[in-house]
Amino acid sequence: MKPATAMLLDGTRIAAQIKAEVAGEVRRLVSSGIRPGLAVILAGKDPASAIYVRNKVKACEELGISGELQQVEDSVSDDELVQIVGRLNRRDDIDGILVQLPLPRQVNAKHVLTEVLPEKDVDGVHPLNAGRLFTGRPGLIPCTPAGIIEMLKRCGITMDGRHAVVIGRSDLVGKPMAMLLLENNATVTICHSRTRNLAEVARQADILVVAIGKPGLVTPDFVKPGATVVDVGVTSITDRKQFDQFFSGDAAREKSFAQRGSTLIGDVHPKVAQVAGAITPVPGGVGPLTIAMLMANTVKACRMRRGER
């Protein structure tokens, strides 16, 4: 297998920088009598969601933020979740509320998310915050796209005048990602599952952001040589045939797969690293940035709501 030539965009390193800055802000707020508070609502016992929530609460503890978990059964109703959100909305010590997705099938996620006060919406999904982003006004921005912009800036990757292609149109990643790239003067194309000639469109990108949820979808023929590729996807592989399809000849992955029985892959095929100029790894790319920006959003929400006494 030809060795990867792309520069790895180390999300873990950038996330550590952001967390250190957030920790400094928290210390300053605490010294003035204010401790930022984040509440995370977890419905059900989905293993992946439980890991994500545990990591978020742990990050709060590390940075001096008050982290609180509200866990409910997967049989929870819309009304019950709305009541929990309402109680958290009324608490002055809670600056940020995050409803962990996905929610159980019987719950209307958009209804519940809209009940979170916009000033406490640290996921940036409330229509008011989406509107602020769309019109270039200050507000809370979805964590993953915000983290990607921070990474591009801190790694010295210019967006001004570049052609950016975003594959994916979700409210949480694809759409806000496109708006943030526009704010940074990129020319943006949004693609999705019904885009015709997807590989041809993607190949025009100087910056390619992939958030479509299909493991290994983007292969080398999707990528312009030297392009920056940001892989938002993450899927756990446990099947041996699927592992060989993506990682055949990768000794390090082989060893890890043999020990754990699984490995992670993004939406971008590993061989893209032979074509791209810069690429985010999976794991260790976008994932750590999401949690770091959640911490940053919690502190931002605190300052916007309560100021500094």
Annotation: CATH topology of 33-118: Rossmann fold (3.40.50)
Q: Contact, 169 vs 193, CB < 8 A?
A: no
- Show the tokens assigned to 248: 């055949």
Residue 123 designated active-site: yes
Q: Contact, 113 vs 105, CB < 8 A?
A: no
Give the pLDDT band of residue 5 (cuts 50, 70, 90). confident
**Residue 190, helix vs strand vs coil:** strand
- For tokens 């976008």, name the residue: 286
Active-site hit among 123, 206, 231, 267: 123
Handedness of CA 245, 249, 250, 252 (dihedral sign): positive
Peptide bond into 102 cis (omega under 30): yes
From CA 116, how far away is CA 126, in angstroms rounded?
7
Residue 233 has pLDDT above 50, yes or no: yes
* pLDDT tens per residue across span 171-224: 999 999 999 999 999 999 999 999 999 999 999 999 999 999 999 999 999 999
* pLDDT tens per residue across span 257-292: 999 999 999 999 999 999 999 999 999 999 999 999
Q: CATH 3.40.50.720 spans which residues of the chain?
A: 142-289
Q: Contact, 69 vs 96, CB < 8 A?
A: no
Residue 17 designated active-site: no
Residue 10 designated active-site: no
Active-site hit among 70, 95, 100, 300: 100
Annotation: CATH topology of 142-289: Rossmann fold (3.40.50)
DSSP-assigned beta bridge partners for residue 99: 41
Q: CATH 3.40.50.10860 spans which residues of the chain?
A: 33-118
Active-site hit among 56, 120, 175, 224: 56
- The residue among 159, 107, 113, 163 whose CA lies nearest residue 140 is 113
CA 10, 200, 162: angle at the middle one, nearest 5? Answer: 50
* pLDDT tens per residue across span 116-129: 999 999 999 999 99
Q: What is the pTM of this model?
A: 0.94
In total, the chain counts a number of residues equal to 309
Q: Where are the alpha helices (H) located in the chain, listed in sequence order?
A: 11-31, 47-63, 78-90, 109-115, 127-134, 143-154, 174-183, 198-202, 240-247, 251-260, 286-306
Residue 238: how many CB atoms within 10 A of its CB? 11
Residue 115 has pLDDT above 60, yes or no: yes
